[in-house]
Each structure stands twice: as C-alpha cells, then as structure tokens.
Homo-oligomer: A and B are copies of this chain.
Amino acid sequence: MTGENWLDEIKWTEDGLVPAIAQDADTGEVLMFAWMNRESLAMSAREGRAVYFSRSRGRLWPKGEESGHVQQIREIRVDCDKDVVLLKIEQVGGIACHTGRRSCFYFRLEDGDWQAVEAVLKDPGEIYRQP
C-alpha cells in the first residue's frame, strides 16, 4: 500500500479543498470543473473514478451517483504549484453536464452575449428520473 505523501503535497485551500478540472482523455475536451477535498481525491485515486466534494451539499459527490455518468480516471495530474488537479477521464455515457450536454462549457461569448453552442444529448428529466 502506498503512503499518502502525495496528498500531503497538495496545497489545500483554507477550507481543505482543491479545484479539479475533468478533461476527456481522448478528445482533450474540458468537461467540467469541481472541487475535491482530501478524502475525495484519495477515493478517486483508489477507485479510479472521480469523486468530488459538493460545496453546496457539504458532502462527497461520487460523480454519476444519480445520473450514471461516472468518470473513469486514466490519469491524475497536478500543476506546478500543486494547487489544481487535472483528471484525464473517460466519460461514461458521453455526458458530463447536468443539462444533458457533453461538456459544462457550452456557453461561448459571441458579440457580447453568451450563446449555448453545444447540443443537449439527453433530456435532464430522463437523466435524473425519479424511481
């Protein structure tokens, strides 16, 4: 079992968090941005699936727990200052965004306005269907 020195090296915020960027390992597309705490980063590395920390809900957020849109991790990277994490992932279902789009970054600035430039692949009502 490996130690946790690599976790100690991360420069956590005062709240014990680190920003995390999820990038499609094949296409390079930036899919989403979220936060992690120490436990969620440790779990992500151990399980090979992205687990974030939901600041709004104040708890661990295993990506895809409701939607099934799990992120399989191919690589975990950190930047020069060790204060930002980059995950290279395979996006199960091809949808990272809760709006049913492939990527969360679907608004492009055009002539002084944000234009949605990516298609909705699945109705959110279907993704988050109540049992």
Known contacts A28-B27, A107-B78, A107-B79; decide if A33 and B114 are in contact (CB<8 Å). Answer: no
Question: Any chain B CB within 8 A of the CB of A32?
Answer: yes
Contacts of A75 in B (CB 8 A): 108-109
Asked, given contacts A80-B97, A107-B79, whether A33 binds B45 with beta carbons under 8 Å apart, the answer is no
| Size category, A interface | 35 or more
Give A59-94 as 1s and 0s: 1 = Cβ < 8 Å from B's Cβ atoms.
000000000000000011111111010100000000
Given contacts A2-B113, A78-B114, A84-B104, 12 further A-B contacts (CB under 8 A): A5-B112, A6-B112, A6-B114, A19-B19, A28-B28, A33-B79, A75-B109, A77-B106, A78-B105, A79-B106, A80-B98, A80-B99
